[in-house]
Amino acid sequence: MSVALIRPLVVRTVAVSDPDDLLARLPDAAPYAWIRHGEGLVGWGEAARATVPPGPGRFDWARGWLSSLFAGALIEDEVGVPGSGPVAFGSFTFDADAEGTVLVVPRVVLARRNGRAWLTTIGDDAFDLVTPPSAPGRIRYGDGSLSAPQWEHRVARAVRRIRDGMLDKVVLARDLTAVAERDIDPRVLLERLAERYPECYTFSVDGLVGATPELLVRHTGQAVESLVLAGTTPRGAHPADDAARGAALYASHKDRHEHAYAVASVREALAPLCSALDVPDRPELLVLPNVQHLASRVTGRLSDGASVLDVVAAMHPTAAVGGTPTGAALRVIRELEGMDRAGYSGPVGWIDSRGDGEWGIALRCAYVSGRRARLFAGCGIMAGSDPAAELAEAQAKLRVMQYALEG
User: Catalytic residue positions?
Assistant: 169, 214
Determine the Cα–Cα distance for residues 197 and 352; give it in Å rounded to an integer: 26
Determine the Cα–Cα distance for residues 167 and 321; give it in Å rounded to an integer: 15
Helix (H) or strand (E) holding 117: strand 116-122
Determine the Cα–Cα distance for residues 42 and 31; give it in Å rounded to an integer: 7
CA 224 to chain centre: 17
Cβ neighbours of residue 104 under 8 Å, at least 6 residues apart?
Answer: 32, 46, 48, 49, 88, 89, 90, 205, 206
Cβ neighbours of residue 181 under 8 Å, at least 6 residues apart?
Answer: 136, 137, 138, 139, 371
**DSSP-assigned states of every residue in 29-97:** S--EEEEETTEEEEEES-SEEEEPPPSTTHHHHHHHHHHHHHHT-EEEESS-STT-SSEEEEE--SSTT
Please report, for residues 15, 66, 308, 371, the alpha-carbon distance to residue 84 in angstroms, rounded to integers and kept in the order given.
10, 15, 15, 34
